[in-house]
Amino acid sequence: MMEWKSTRGLLIDLDGTLIQGNHPIDGAVEFIQQVVKLNIPFLYWTNNSTRSPLSVARMMGQRGFAGDERNVYTSGIATALWLTKELPGNPRVYVVGEPELREVLVENGIRIVDSVNEKVDAVVVGLDRDVHFKKLSDAMAHLLDGALFIGTNPDHALVTKTGLVPGAGSLLALLERATKRVPYVIGKPNPQFVLSACERLNVSPHEVIVIGDNPETDVHAGRLAGAQTIWVKTGIQSEEAVSADLQIASLRDLLD
């Protein structure tokens, strides 16, 4: 068994790893309690850009999980930080995304433009469940005018109570086809999402463990970044061999 208790940091996926729908997965709450007891720095590390850190922390708290917004690292946060680094000086962006993504961007000094009448530096695309033709058309116009094409995450579909629904990756695919441009995607499996989370924890990738249920995003990103990885078989299943450092049935397997 991996000596996870001696790690200097944990990057822990949410959906499929800690929670399934509105409910904690077996052993997940107890695992986080043990992490806190051991004083191991950790982040709730998620591709979901529709929630702010405070929103995620409240949602997790309501389900019995410890931690606050300082323990949350979303693809929306990573996107905001990437933009401010690559485009210093209050960059202007057009957003295809939900209110809490816009909130995160604004909090990081990014100016949001909601029309085609003003030139923008970048178009940011995340999951947007209220997307409409005009919003996509305006995004397309900005992209054809030379704006950077940025995606928060590539997830093509999401699991809901009623089945699969389109994810941010589906919106990216539409705009990619329409503009013949390829987006730079911030979230998993981009190893930079691991590196930026490690910067938040002030550790190196080889000092952390990435824990997730999706071998194509969580595990792959972790391995590309040089982190140790644990594949939890409570969410996305794989018919192919998964090259995680450890494979477990649920987080309960890591408890004493």
Phi and psi torsions of 53, nearest 5°: -55, -45
Q: Which of 15, 155, 213, 218 is catalytic?
A: 15
Q: Which of 13, 128, 155, 218 is catalytic?
A: 13
CB 109, CB 88: distance < 8 Å: no
Catalytic annotation on 13?
A: yes
Using CA atoms, how far residue 109 sits from 75, 119, 162, in Å, is: 17, 17, 37
CB 32, CB 67: distance < 8 Å: yes
CA distance 161 to 3: 36
- Which DSSP category does 25 fall into? P
Residue 39 backbone zone (phi > 0: left; psi -120 to 50: alpha; other: beta): left
Q: Catalytic positions, please? A: 13, 15
